Amino acid sequence: MRGTTIFFHCLRQVLGNAAMAMRISWWLVVVVVAAYAGMQALSADWVAYIQESVNSGIFEGSPPRGNTGAVLAYALVISIIIIWSFIVVAIAWHRYILLEEMPTGVVPYRKDYRVGGYLGNTLLIVLLSMLASMAIGVVVGMLVIPLAGGAGSGALFTITTIVGLIIGVIISVIYLRLSLVLPAVALDKRLGLGEAWSISRGFSMDIAVLAVWTVALQFGFNLLIGTLARMAVPDIGIILISLAYQWFHLILTISILSTLYGHIVEKRDVF
């Protein structure tokens, strides 16, 4: 299926152009590491609290006392810098993949980059995807909860896992179809959300297969991290591996959007 072809095409795209990807994005990695180090120096207690809350999925207990104003101000400033940096990297990588445009300078930023347009469309797509997720969740919950009422704990876990995966794939399809506008913004082309949705009609199954592959990749990484933790690998080693994976996943995601745009909008072949 084309979804599998697109996934492995993007993998080869990233691995075959790893040096260029690093040239475009190395400074983003530096920004993220420096931001973490700065927060650690400002308040190690806040870092531990946030990490524990993210791992558990809920903000439990009382936040650390002291430095609250400084931590919030620092978090706001560094978030703006990281978001701007991410968008610049995304635009530069879109343009390299689709236009073979070589980056220039230490930071590959140009005045004609539509950073604001990219951010605005991203926020709108995320909002629409969240609304769709809530709506689908409510409908599926109304259908599944009565059926799962008499199931045992094991069966209930299996049912909720399968339903969660299905909902995740559906939301991924919605997100990726709408996200065709992002490479268009990077190329300074006109493509609205409605047009992106319309032109990608007929590719939903291919995108769903692509989404399953990305979920499988994430599952494999989580399995690797769990195995390394059980092998008592030092935390610094796991952190470095996680950082490398997050960088790879970021570039792969941008490549997927670029390839979908090239295939669906520009009618390029994928092999």
The per-residue pLDDT for 90 is: 97
Taking alpha carbons only, the member of 24, 183, 181 closest to residue 94 is 183
Query: CB of 63 within 8 A of CB of 46?
Result: yes
User: What are the residues whose beta carbons fall under 8 Å from the beta carbon of 87, sequence distance 6 or more?
Assistant: 113, 115, 118, 119, 122
Q: How far apart are CA 189 and CA 237, in angstroms?
A: 42
Q: Which residue has the tokens 């300078």?
A: 105
Ranges of the chain with pLDDT below 70 = 1, 44, 46-47, 49-66, 145-156
Looking at this protein, which amino acid is placed at residue 78?
I
On the 0-12 / 13-18 / 19+ scale of CB atoms within 10 A, 254 is buried
Q: How far apart are CA 40 and CA 31, in angstroms?
A: 14
Separation in Å, CA 136 to CA 4, 131, 155, 157, 163? 26, 9, 22, 19, 11
pLDDT tens per residue across span 258-271 = 999 999 999 998 88
Q: How far apart are CA 269 and CA 155, in angstroms?
A: 43
The per-residue pLDDT for 138 is: 83
Q: How far apart are CA 18 and CA 11, in angstroms?
A: 10
Looking at this protein, which amino acid is placed at residue 107?
V
User: What are the residues whose beta carbons fall under 8 Å from the beta carbon of 64, sequence distance 6 or more?
Assistant: 43, 45, 46, 49
Q: How far apart are CA 78 and CA 72, in angstroms?
A: 10
107: phi > 0 → left, psi -120 to 50 → alpha, else beta; which? beta
Domain boundaries, given as residue ranges, for the chain: 2-265
Query: CB of 247 within 8 A of CB of 29?
Result: yes
| Alpha-carbon Rg for the chain in angstroms | 20
The one-character DSSP state at 263 is: I
Q: State the SS3 of 139-208.
A: HHHHHHHHHHCCCCHHHHHHHHHHHHHHHHHHHHHHHHHHCCHHHHHHCCCCCCHHHHHHHCCCCHHHHH
The per-residue pLDDT for 71 is: 79
The per-residue pLDDT for 53 is: 60
